[in-house]
């Protein structure tokens, strides 16, 4: 009789141990899936916001109309392009005016910070780079004669056409109310082939 009870105890302890291991593996897989899904959502939101900065209201339409091939796409006012980007970023990620999530079910916890916003205007073979200085909120302009195809964005994309680079950072809730700081960056170019 005693052996039968001892065997049951070993089975029960083994079952509890296996359940605990299975629970940890499932939670790890769920967290990985949640972060991957959130990454996809944020990347899509960044690309969409970058594209919004390249809409016709921000482009030099006169210059575009003068080019016989219609291939020159220049952002005429970086400040307006930034405002358009910010407006669409807030909408795409469901953020309020302070860049905090509007609802509590969001995985984003706290404020979303725009870390970088850079416009690469390509005209012919020349590139003018407008990089936002977040201290002064002004754009620093650097011109690169023959820069087309010779300069790269911080993400490593070769600049062949007018491009917007953006980077954001925020705290992401993982599992068991734990959190981690993450940063995302995207490059979006506008190229008429």
CB 188 within 8 A of CB 47: yes
97: exposed, middle or buried (C-beta count within 10 Å: 0-12, 13-18, 19+)?
A: exposed
pLDDT at 62: 59
Listed residue (177, 119, 116, 110) closest to 143, CA to CA: 119
Say yes or no to pLDDT of 1 above 50: no
pLDDT digits (tens, 9 = 90+) for 119-173: 998 888 899 999 999 888 899 999 999 999 999 999 999 999 889 999 999 988 7
**Spans of all domains in the chain:** 2-189
Task: Enter the tokens of residue 92.
Answer: 């795409």
**The 3-state secondary structure of the chain, one letter per residue:** CHHHHHHHHHHHHHHHHHHHHHHHHHHHHHHHHHHHHHHHHHHHHHHHHHHHHCCHHHECHHHHHHCCCCCCCCECCHHHHHHHHHHHHHHHHCECCCCCECCCCCCEEEEEEEEEEEEEEEECCEEEEEEEECCCCEEEEEEECCCCCCCECCCCCECCCCEEEEEEEEEEECCCCCEEEEEEEEEEECCCC
pTM: 0.78
| Between 58 and 53, residue with greater pLDDT | 53
**Per-residue pLDDT at 174 exceeds 80:** no
């Amino acid at each position: 009789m005693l052996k039968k009870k001892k065997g049951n105890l070993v089975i029960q302890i083994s079952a509890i141990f296996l359940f605990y291991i299975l629970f940890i593996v499932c939670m790890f897989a769920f967290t990985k899936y949640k972060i991957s899904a959130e990454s996809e959502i944020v990347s899509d939101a960044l690309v969409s916001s970058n594209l919004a900065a390249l809409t016709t209201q921000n482009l030099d339409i006169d210059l575009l109309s003068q080019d016989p091939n219609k291939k020159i796409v220049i952002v005429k006012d970086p400040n307006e392009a930034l405002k358009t980007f910010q407006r669409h970023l807030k909408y795409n990620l469901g953020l309020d005016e302070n860049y905090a999530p509007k609802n509590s079910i969001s995985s984003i916890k706290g404020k979303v910070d725009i870390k970088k916003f850079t416009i690469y205007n390509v005209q012919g073979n020349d590139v003018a780079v407008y990089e936002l200085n977040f201290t002064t909120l002004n754009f620093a302009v650097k011109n690169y004669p023959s820069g087309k195809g010779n300069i790269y964005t911080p993400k490593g994309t070769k600049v062949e056409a007018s491009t917007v680079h953006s980077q954001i950072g925020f705290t992401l809730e993982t599992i068991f109310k734990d959190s981690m700081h993450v940063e995302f960056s995207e490059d979006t170019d506008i190229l008429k082939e």
